[in-house]
Amino acid sequence: MSEIKKIGVFTSGGDAPGMNACIRSVVRSSIYMGLEVAGIYQGYRGMLENNITDMNSRSVSNIIHLGGTILKTARCNEFKTDEGMELAYQNIKAANIDALIAIGGDGTAKGAEKFSIKYGIPVICIPGTIDNDLYGTDFTLGFDTANNTVIQAIDKIRDTANSHDRLFFIEVMGRDSGCIALRSGIAGGAEAILLPERDTAIDDLISKLEKGAQNKKSSSIVIVAEGDKNGGAYDVAKRVKEKFNYYDTKVTILGHLQRGGSPSSTDRVLACRFGYAAVKALLAGETRQIVGIRGNTIKLTSLYEALNLHEFKLEEDLLELTHILSI
C-alpha cells in the first residue's frame, strides 16, 4: 500500500441524516492529520463524470446541522460494468486520490469493495442508512434521527386517533429490516407492530385489536414496516377492515420524510466519531473495512463480513415488549 496523501470522500445510495456531519468530520480530520481531501459529488456517478472538487476546512462550515448530503448522491448502474470502473479509476488517479471513504448502505459498500479489490485502492466505508441493517455496527448513521421523526408523527396521529375513535395503520420504511418499525412502535405506544422478520397472521392482529376494543381503548395504532409479508399498510388495513370495523380505519404512509431533517445529537456525534475513525483507519493501513459502533466502542469489521454474514437480529427483549406494553 503506497503512502496516502489525499483522500476522496463521497456519499452514495439513499441519503441519511448525519451524512453532512460525517463529511465534515472526514474533511477536518484529514486536514488535521496532514492530508489533502477531495469531495466526489453524486457518488459513483461523480467518479465516472469526474465531478471531483478539492475541499478545505471552510468547505464544510455550517453543515453539521443539515439533513441530506452536500456532496449529493445518485445511483449508477454504469459503475457496475468493467468499462465504468475503469473510467472511475482513471478519474480518481487523475485527481491524485490515494484512498476513498464511502458513506452509505450495503450497495455503496458492495461497490467500494469490488472497486478496491480490482484496483488496489484502500477503502473504508461508513454505514449511512436509516434502515440500521448492516452487520458490524449496533447503529447506522441516520437511524436515530429517522426514529425520532417517526415517533413525532405517531404522536401527532394518535391525537387525531383518540379524538375520533380511529384505528391508524402507519407504514414506515424498512423493506428488509424492521428496526425502525420496532423501536418507533415501542416508543410511540403502538398496539401492534408488523415486521419483515416476523410473520403476523391477519387473524392474530384482528384478535389483538378486538381485545383492545373490549378493554375500552379509544384508538389503536398499528405500525407496518414496508417489507412486512402481509403487504403494505393499505393491504393490511383493507384485510383487517373486512373482518373488524369497531374503529374508523385510516392509513398513513410516512415515506421519504423519514430520511430528511436535521440530524439528532446522537447522529451528529456518531457521524463525527465515524469520520475520524475512518481517516485513522486508512492511515493505519486498513482497507476494505466498515466502521461501526458496538457498545460504545468504535470497531472495524471487514467488508466481506459486513456484506455476507447479515446476522443482524432484532433484540428479543424489544420483541417481547411489543406484546407486554400493548395490553
263-273: pLDDT as tens digits: 999 999 999 99
In the predicted model, is pLDDT for residue 113 greater than 90?
A: yes
Q: Which grid cell is 148?
A: 425520532
Instruction: Report pTM.
Output: 0.94
Residue 214 has what pLDDT?
A: 83
Local confidence band at 1 (pLDDT 50, 70, 90 cut-offs): very low
**Catalytic residue (choose from 98, 106, 131, 228):** 131
281-319: pLDDT as tens digits: 999 999 999 999 999 999 999 999 999 886 667 889 999
Torsions phi, psi for 271 (to 5 deg): -60, -40
248 a catalytic residue = no
- Is 327 in a helix, a strand, or coil? coil
Q: Which grid cell is 36?
A: 489533502
Task: Report d(CA 119, CA 115) in Å as an integer.
Answer: 6
Can you give the three-state secondary structure of 168-195, one letter per residue?
Answer: EEEEECCCCCCHHHHHHHHHCCCCEEEC
194-232: pLDDT as tens digits: 999 988 899 999 898 888 888 877 778 999 999 999 989
Tell me the domains of the chain and their CATH numbers.
Answer: 6-142+263-308 (3.40.50.450), 144-259 (3.40.50.460)
Residue 187 has what pLDDT?
A: 96
